[in-house]
Amino acid sequence: MDQHVSGYRSYFAVFITLLLLTLLTVDVAFREAGWLNLPIALFIACSKATLVVLYFMHVRHADHLTWVFVAMGFLWLLILFALLMSDYIGINMPV
């Protein structure tokens, strides 16, 4: 298996991006955006999780089977969010 190691520059750029997204999360938490607060916060959280998975878990340079398992994990997360939101807004979904 070919080992690919990212340079310090890419790790530092991802770190700075994560810090900026964290500051953006704090800023969004203190602003009143009405019903948009939750979608904005979820988008920022998913962006940070994607950066962590791609760079710090080395999925960016992994083989295709790893990408399939990561995609299935995100699909499962979306299913759980859909079930959570259906319970939150009171829609009865068939089980």
Instruction: Summarize pLDDT for 33-79 with one digit per residue, the tens.
Output: 888 998 999 899 989 999 999 888 888 888 999 999 989 998 998 89
Higher pLDDT, 64 or 1: 64
Does residue 86 carry a pLDDT above 60? Answer: yes
| CA–CA gap between residue 94 and residue 6 (Å, rounded) | 46
For all residues of the chain together, what is the average pLDDT?
A: 87
**Is the domain of 23 the same as that of 44?**
yes
Residues 78-90, mean pLDDT to the nearest whole number: 84
Residues 10-17, mean pLDDT to the nearest whole number: 94
**Is the domain of 51 the same as that of 88?**
no
Q: Identify the CA nearest to 82 among candidates 72, 70, 93.
A: 93
**Is the domain of 24 the same as that of 1?**
yes
Long-range contacts of 42-45 (CB under 8 A, 24+ apart): 42/81
How many domains are contained in the chain? Answer: 2
| CA–CA gap between residue 40 and residue 29 (Å, rounded) | 10
Does residue 1 carry a pLDDT above 70? Answer: no
Task: Provide the residue range defining the domain that includes 41.
Answer: 1-62
Q: Is the pTM of this model over 0.75?
A: no
